[in-house]
Amino acid sequence: QSALTQPASVSGSPGQSITVSCTGTSSDVGGYNYVSWYQQHPGKAPKLMISEVSNRPSGVSDRFSGSKSGNTASLTISGLQAEDEADYYCSSYTTSSTLIFGGGTKLTVL
């Protein structure tokens, strides 16, 4: 099964908002509300930012939000800050009872 499709890179200036898309199929993203998003800084382990499409774990800034429409999920970061510069990965449950990740998106804060 191919990875979910994410843009390779996105960028924005401090204070701006950006959106990262994550496109799958009806067998994964579109079929379940089990999309999650992870932030990864260089050399560090991934960190959960959004679970189950739009749930934000305790301790995660409310500048991070998630949504889904059809086979595409989105992560929006508002009020960009320098510390948001990182790689972002989406993940989804699949009809095969497996999980699948996106290829990752590198966020650059200009």
Partner 1 sequence: EVQLVESGGGLVQPGGSLRLSCAASGFTFNSYWMHWVRQTPEKGLVWVSRIDTGGSSLVYADSVKGRFTISRDNARNTLYLQMDSLGAEDTAIYYCARNPRGAYFDLWGRGTLVTVSS
Residues 6+ apart with CB under 8 A from 33: 52, 53, 68
Six token digits for residue 108: 């650059």
* Interacting span for partner 1 (CB under 8 A) from 13-21, 61-69, 76-84, 102-110: 102-110
- For residue 3, the 8-state DSSP code is P
Beta bridge partners of 93: 99
In 10 A of CB 69, how many CB atoms? 9
Q: Which of 23, 25, 36, 39 binds partner 1 (CB under 8 A)?
A: 36
Q: Does 26 bind partner 1 (CB under 8 A)?
A: no
The CB-of-110 to partner 1 minimum distance in angstroms stands at 23
Report in angstroms how near the CB of residue 108 gets to partner 1 at its nearest.
Answer: 17
Q: Does 103 bind partner 1 (CB under 8 A)?
A: yes
Asked if 32 interacts with partner 1 (CB under 8 A), we say: yes
